[in-house]
Structure formats: structure tokens, C-alpha cells
């Protein structure tokens, strides 16, 4: 498998599995399936996988089914929650006036060496010291 310099945020992964998300589901599912089909490995973080599980269950997915979905993404590059990531997220939160959770996602992208952060939650085109926000669903 080939590592790619992209980190996917929770919303992209949730849309990929939420058949009720309409056009967002169609686009996100195609994007995520493309990574699997091309045997490419983007990055995600433990936080992102945790959020994904909680939100899928909230949307009515059975806990066991959601757990299976989340476990499948452990084959990707998973950024761990560490003291260094926490420190970096706190600094990013102050520097960029982000929510802590968004700052933690940006920190995970930076630590993964990602050049792109695919998300709907931040401003597309914003550059966080080499990590550029991309909204792949537009």
C-alpha cells in the first residue's frame, strides 16, 4: 500500500458511511472507496476514529457494525493521541483561534506529514504551516 500525504477528518468518513447524507454520501463514499481501490493509505487520528464511532452509533448504526467499520480504518496510517500532539494542539488553538478539537485534527495532520487536510469543518484553502485545508465535497 502507498502512503499519501492526506489526513481525512471525521465528517468525510461519516458521510462515506451515511446513506442518508445524499450527495455528500455519494461523493465521500467514492473518495474513500478510491483510496481502498488504489491501495493508498491516507492518515486519520484516534480522535477522528473515536468521533466517527460515536456519530455512526448516534445515527442508528449498531455498535458492533460501527466498531467493524472503525476497525477497518486501522489499516490506514493512524495518528495516536500523545503528549506531543496535545501540546501542539493547544499551541495551534491559541495561534489560529480554533476549537480544541479542530486544532487536534490539524496537529495530527502536521504530525502525519500531511500536506492536505480533507474536511468540511475548516476554511478551504487555509494553510496551517504547510497543511492546506481541502473540502473534497464541493
Q: What is the DSSP string of 69-138?
A: HHHHGGGSEEEPP-HHHHHHHHHHHHHHT--HHHHHHHHHHHHHT-SEEE-SSS-TT-EETTEEEE-TT-
Q: Does the residue 105 lie in any domain? A: yes
Segment 62-90 mean pLDDT: 98
Q: Does the residue 1 lie in any domain? A: no
Q: Does the residue 15 lie in any domain? A: yes
Question: Could you list the residue range(s) of the whole structural domain that residue 121 is in?
Answer: 6-134
Beta-carbon contacts of 51 under 8 Å, excluding residues fewer than 6 positions away, are 10
Q: Does the residue 66 lie in any domain? A: yes
Q: Does the residue 81 lie in any domain? A: yes
Q: Which CATH number belongs to the domain containing residue 118 in this structure?
A: 3.40.50.1010
**Does the pLDDT at position 36 exceed 80?**
yes
Tell me the CA distances in angstroms from 91 to 24, 115, 124, one per residue in order.
Answer: 32, 19, 21
CA dihedral sign, ordered 28, 50, 109, 79: negative
**Does the pLDDT at position 1 exceed 80?**
no
Going by pLDDT thresholds of 50, 70 and 90, the confidence category of residue 87 is very high
Q: Does the residue 61 lie in any domain? A: yes
* Averaged pLDDT of the chain: 97
Q: Does the residue 108 lie in any domain? A: yes
**Domain total of the chain:** 1
Q: Does the residue 43 lie in any domain? A: yes
Segment 92-112 mean pLDDT: 98
Placement of cell 477528518 in the chain? 9
Amino acid at each position: 500500500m502507498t502512503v499519501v500525504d492526506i489526513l481525512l477528518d471525521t465528517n468525510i468518513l461519516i458521510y462515506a458511511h451515511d446513506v442518508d447524507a445524499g450527495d455528500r454520501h455519494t461523493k465521500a463514499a467514492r473518495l474513500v472507496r478510491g483510496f481502498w481501490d488504489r491501495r493508498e493509505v491516507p492518515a486519520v487520528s484516534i480522535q477522528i476514529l473515536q468521533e466517527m464511532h460515536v456519530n455512526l452509533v448516534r445515527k442508528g448504526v449498531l455498535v458492533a457494525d460501527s466498531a467493524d467499520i472503525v476497525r477497518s480504518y486501522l489499516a490506514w496510517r493512524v495518528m495516536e493521541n500523545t503528549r506531543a500532539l496535545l501540546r501542539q494542539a493547544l499551541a495551534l488553538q491559541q495561534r489560529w483561534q480554533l476549537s480544541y478539537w479542530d486544532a487536534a485534527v490539524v496537529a495530527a495532520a502536521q504530525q502525519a506529514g500531511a500536506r492536505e487536510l480533507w474536511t468540511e469543518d475548516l476554511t478551504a484553502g487555509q494553510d496551517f504551516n504547510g497543511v492546506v485545508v481541502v473540502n473534497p465535497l464541493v
